[in-house]
C-alpha cells in the first residue's frame, strides 16, 4: 500500500454540458476552481456523479486532463473514475490515465452482471496487476446490485496498490466491520455524505462527496474536524449541511446537484439522456434548501 494515507474530502465532480450537449470546458474550470478555493483534499472526475456512462472516451480523457492541469499546481490529488463491468476495458482506461499523471483511480464494482465474491476479487486483482496506479474500490450495492463483502475487501487490501475503499453500502454495521478489518494505511472513505461524521467515529478517514460540489469549504472543514477528533465542530457542520446532503438525492444523482450548481451560477443545467431535469416541485424544494444554508450567495468568478 502507498505510504501516504488517502484522507479528507474528495469531490465526486459533476460534468457540465452546454445546451447543445457538448462538454462545457469553461464551466468545468469554474467548478474546479470552486473546489480548489474551498480547500478540498482531492478531486474525483469521471465517476458516476460525473455522468461517466454518457461521456465519450475522448471526453473522459479531456475531463481528467483538465482536472490534473488545475489541481496538480495546487498540490491536490486526482483520482479518476475507471470502473465498469468489462474488466479489459477498465484496464485499458487505467493504462491511459497513467499517461495523464493521475494519482490513482476510483473503480466501481461491476454492475448488472452481478459477479460472485470470487469474481469481484479477480476483477479488481486483474486491474491492480495491470496498472501501477493506486486503486480505490467503490462499493455501492444500490447501484451495482452486488455488495463487496468485508471478507472480499480484506483479500483485496492485501494487494499492494489497492489502497482504499469508498464504502457506499449504506450499512453502518458493515462500515464498522470494514474499519476494524482493514490493515494500517488502508483508507476507509464514506460514499454517503450523511454518513461521513459517523464513519469518522468508527475509524474512517474521509468522504468522496457529492455535497462538496456545492459546499467544498464546508465539507472540507467537516473532514478536517473529524480527522482531528473535534466531533463537536464536525457535528455542527453536519447538522447545517444535512438538509443539502438529503435533497441532493431527492431524484437520481447527479440531477439535483447539477440543478443546484446552476442555481449558484457555476454551470448551466444540462443533462444527457437518460437523465432529465428535476420535477418543478422538487426543484423548488432544492432552491429552498440552498437558500437555507446560504449557498445561493456564491457567484461566478
Give burial (CB, 10 Å; 0-12/13-18/19+) of 235.
middle
Q: How far is CA 45 from CA 13, 49, 122, 280, in A?
A: 5, 8, 25, 28
Give burial (CB, 10 Å; 0-12/13-18/19+) of 19.
exposed
Say whether 166 is catalytic: yes
Among 166, 258, 271, 283, the active-site one is 166
Cell output for 128: 491492480
Say whether 138 is catalytic: yes
Among 97, 111, 121, 138, the active-site one is 138
Cell output for 130: 495491470
**Is 300 in a helix, a strand, or coil?**
coil
Length of the chain: 301
Question: Which residues have a catalytic role annotated?
Answer: 138, 166
Amino acid at each position: 500500500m502507498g505510504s501516504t494515507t488517502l484522507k479528507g474530502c474528495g469531490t465526486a465532480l459533476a460534468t457540465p454540458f452546454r445546451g447543445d450537449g457538448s462538454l462545457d470546458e469553461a464551466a468545468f474550470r469554474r467548478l474546479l476552481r470552486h473546489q480548489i478555493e474551498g480547500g478540498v483534499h482531492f478531486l474525483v472526475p469521471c465517476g458516476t456523479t460525473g455522468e461517466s456512462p454518457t461521456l465519450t472516451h475522448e471526453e473522459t480523457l479531456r475531463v481528467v486532463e483538465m482536472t490534473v492541469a488545475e489541481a496538480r499546481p495546487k498540490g491536490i490529488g486526482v483520482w479518476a473514475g475507471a470502473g465498469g463491468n468489462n474488466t479489459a476495458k477498465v484496464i485499458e482506461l487505467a493504462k491511459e490515465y497513467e499517461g495523464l499523471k493521475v494519482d490513482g483511480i476510483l473503480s466501481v464494482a461491476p454492475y448488472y452482471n452481478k459477479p460472485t465474491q470470487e469474481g469481484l476479487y479477480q476483477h479488481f486483482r486483474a486491474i491492480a496487476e495491470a496498472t501501477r496506479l493506486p486503486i480505490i474500490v467503490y462499493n455501492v450495492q444500490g447501484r451495482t446490485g452486488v455488495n463487496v463483502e468485508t471478507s472480499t475487501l480484506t483479500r483485496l487490501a492485501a494487494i499492494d496498490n489497492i489502497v482504499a475503499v469508498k464504502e457506499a453500502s449504506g450499512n453502518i454495521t458493515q462500515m464498522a466491520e470494514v474499519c476494524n478489518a482493514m490493515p494500517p494505511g488502508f483508507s476507509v472513505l464514506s460514499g454517503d455524505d450523511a454518513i461521513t461524521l459517523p464513519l469518522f467515529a468508527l475509524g474512517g478517514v474521509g468522504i468522496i462527496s457529492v455535497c462538496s460540489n456545492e459546499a467544498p469549504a464546508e465539507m472540507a472543514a467537516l473532514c478536517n474536524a473529524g480527522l482531528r477528533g473535534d466531533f463537536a465542530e464536525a457535528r455542527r457542520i453536519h447538522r447545517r449541511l444535512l438538509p443539502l446532503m438529503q435533497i441532493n438525492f431527492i431524484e437520481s444523482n447527479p440531477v439535483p446537484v447539477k440543478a443546484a450548481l446552476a442555481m449558484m451560477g457555476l454551470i448551466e443545467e444540462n443533462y444527457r439522456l437518460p437523465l432529465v431535469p428535476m420535477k418543478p416541485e422538487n426543484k423548488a424544494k432544492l432552491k429552498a434548501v440552498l437558500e437555507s444554508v446560504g449557498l445561493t450567495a456564491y457567484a461566478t468568478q
